[in-house]
Amino acid sequence: MILRQALPFVLIAIMTCLPVSAQRIAKYGADFLAGGVDARALAMGGANVALTHNVNSVYWNPAGLMQTEYSEVAYMHAERFAGIVSFDFAAISYPVTHQSTVGLSFFRSGVNDIKNTLNAWDAERNQPKANPESYITSFSAADMAFFLSYARSLNHRLLVGASGKIIRRTIGDFADAWGYSFDAGALWRGDRFMIGVQIQDVSTMLQSWSVNSSAFAIEDINPNTGNPYTFVEVFDQELPSGDTFLVLPVMRLGSGLKIPVGSHSTILIGLDFDIAFDGQQSDAFNLGDLSFHPRLGGEFSFRNLIALRAGLNRIAQTESYGFDVVPSVGAGIKIGPLSIDYGFGDFGGLVSDLGYSHRISAHFTWKHPRFRRPSE
């Protein structure tokens, strides 16, 4: 019965993940979301597709929202590339009925204080102006996403869910883009073993960029024409133009195992495989246009109060360095309805100098009758 219910979902997932031909493909069109959310899950290497069970499921597998008993909120802040890139995530979930849950989440990744030196160049003399710093301004580049998620239980073991997504990307006043897509997921949970699947961008994300040519205006006047210099005249380059790209789906397969240790402790083990259709061949295990990204993680929890975690969030065979892994570690503490978690890792891998990544997240459960899941 379970296989019969899950079969239509699997067939749809396979058909919608086929590569789209004759289109411009963006391999990194929504890469700011690839880093993941929740310091707990990231400390476990991101092997969380089958283990996810709270409001953070809006990212990992929306079907996991059905495992919440009360309304929940979560927040995470992360510093990436030695603090150059900041990442923030916030989410809320609410159990609507005994068979359904909704969630709303917001993501933002940004780089601030980027220098705009367009007007610091002396076009007539073809060199920097006398006081270039007085002509330099700053701008920010930001990527944002909004998720609206819905989960439903088909029976006490099989859960399904989906998330509608809106992506907003800006590069100062120079360019911006909108993207639309949705994710879908399913989760089967046994007493100790669980399996999950999530398809990111199952509909294939359409991302449209537009360029504001007026933002590239030069203030200096060309004495030959009496008009301001154009970008092409000063830099001998054509202005970038807007375009539309496709972000292909990624299938994420996950498994989890729960092992009781005595009467007070528990060990969780997660193993995930991402299957991407992006044609990556230089930095991942691959088979033609399919690339495979395994992740592994574990957690030791004592009395559901203190937890220690470790994982591998990247295991790859690269052309430059050969076999490469990215480890992560972390810990968490639970005080009543509040959980505080910390994760630490080398964002670029053991052989990279891209800097370390620190993640801090908080999770709160509203244990009030008003926010409890209705009974049947």
* 9 vs 163: which has the higher pLDDT: 163
Q: Does residue 174 surpass a pLDDT of 50?
A: yes
Cα dihedral sign, 360-143-275-350:
negative
Tell me which of 86-95, 224-233, 302-311 is least confident: 224-233
- Return the percent helix, strand and coil in the chain, to nearest 5: 15, 55, 35
Phi, psi of 102 (to 5 degrees): -120, 155
Phi, psi of 83 (to 5 degrees): 90, 0
13 neighbors 251 (Cβ within 8 angstroms) = yes
Q: Look at residue 26 in the predicted model and tell me its pLDDT.
A: 63
What the block records as the tokens of 100 is: 């359904």
pLDDT, one tens digit per residue, over 31-86 is: 788 889 999 999 999 999 999 999 999 999 999 999 999 999 999 998 877 678 88
36 neighbors 78 (Cβ within 8 angstroms) = no
DSSP three-state, residue 13: helix
Q: Does residue 7 surpass a pLDDT of 50?
A: no
Separation between Cα atoms, residue 82 and residue 77, nearest integer Å: 14
Helix (H) or strand (E) holding 15: helix 2-16
Q: Does residue 27 surpass a pLDDT of 80?
A: no
Average pLDDT, the chain: 85
Query: Average of pLDDT values for 321-339?
Result: 88
Separation between Cα atoms, residue 141 and residue 118, nearest integer Å: 17
Task: Evaluate if pTM is beyond 0.75.
Answer: yes
326 neighbors 5 (Cβ within 8 angstroms) = no
* 204 vs 30: which has the higher pLDDT: 204
* 100 vs 126: which has the higher pLDDT: 100
Residues near 15 by beta carbon (within 8 Å), at least 6 away in sequence: none
Q: Look at residue 12 in the predicted model and tell me its pLDDT.
A: 38
80 neighbors 201 (Cβ within 8 angstroms) = no
